[in-house]
Amino acid sequence: MKQLTQRAATVELAIESALQDLGVTKDQVEVQVVENGRKGFLGFGVKQAEVLVTVLEKSEPTPKPADDGAVLSPVTAATEKTEVVQQPQTKKEQSETVMDVQEAERIPEAKIYNEKDAIEETKQYIEDMAKEMGIEDLVITYETKGKYINFQLESEKAAFLIGKRGQTLNAIQQLAQLVANKVTKQFKIVRIDVADYRERREQSLEQLADRMADRAVRTKRQVALEPMPSYERKVIHNALSLRLDIETFSEGKDPYRHIVIKGIE
């Protein structure tokens, strides 16, 4: 019995490659889908599809006995004929032994409308990204509050997850939100934190806002801050909202959009 395990980007491509290597057609094989595969996002969480292709054995006709003059009885003749004829599988039997390839391809595209399933799918995606970064000890906990899903990540390599000024963490959060909203009807906002980095970052931004506002008033010149994601810009705006000697506004387009602080004379 000839068998071949083949991997490719999709189930169909894996089957086509296996058929070429075996030199057979689809109706001559039995296909078992081992792994449906996953496309992933931006290179993270990608999994190839894997199939096991088995070549079906051809039935060998029973050799015709030598004619020695003996005459077969009708019962014996019927028995001989039954032994050499193989009954074809019914459609039901074939569906039980060979997984329909088109159906297998549709499984990854099926939408998940249960919130818990969406959370688990997002959690798994975060774990896959962490493994791509060489992080094997990741521990993820979460809590939900209305439309918000808050994930807390713990690892000995927390610095790798955070990145320079939180850039890696922000990217993971954006991708995780795409995953969560791909598999649920209700819009969700995903927040991801590592070792309470968000809280420490918020305190740092509030201190930065006060210093830059004082500089704008003292120098009577506009002060432009570095580009920040929208929720960090919101922290700056809120921190300075009660000051009457300055005004704040945003300029530019993401990912280069930044806050400008201007003193009021």
The fold adopted by the segment(s) 115-195 is GMP Synthetase; Chain A, domain 3 (3.30.300)
Domain edges within the chain: 1-57+98-109, 115-195, 198-263
- Confidence bin at 87 (pLDDT 50/70/90): very low
Q: Which residues of 135-161 are buried (b: 16+ CB within 10 A; e: fewer)?
A: beebebebeeeeeebebbbebeeeeeb
Q: Are 250 and 258 in contact (CB under 8 A)?
A: yes
> pTM of the entire structure?
0.53
> Does residue 137 carry a pLDDT above 70?
yes
- Closest Cα to residue 223, out of 207, 241, 211? 211
Q: Do domains 115-195 and 198-263 have the same CATH topology?
A: no
For residue range 184-227, list pLDDT tens digits in order.
Answer: 777 888 999 998 999 999 999 999 999 999 999 999 999 999 99
What is the DSSP code (8-state) at residue 245? S
**Residue 225: predicted pLDDT:** 95
198-263: CATH class: alpha beta
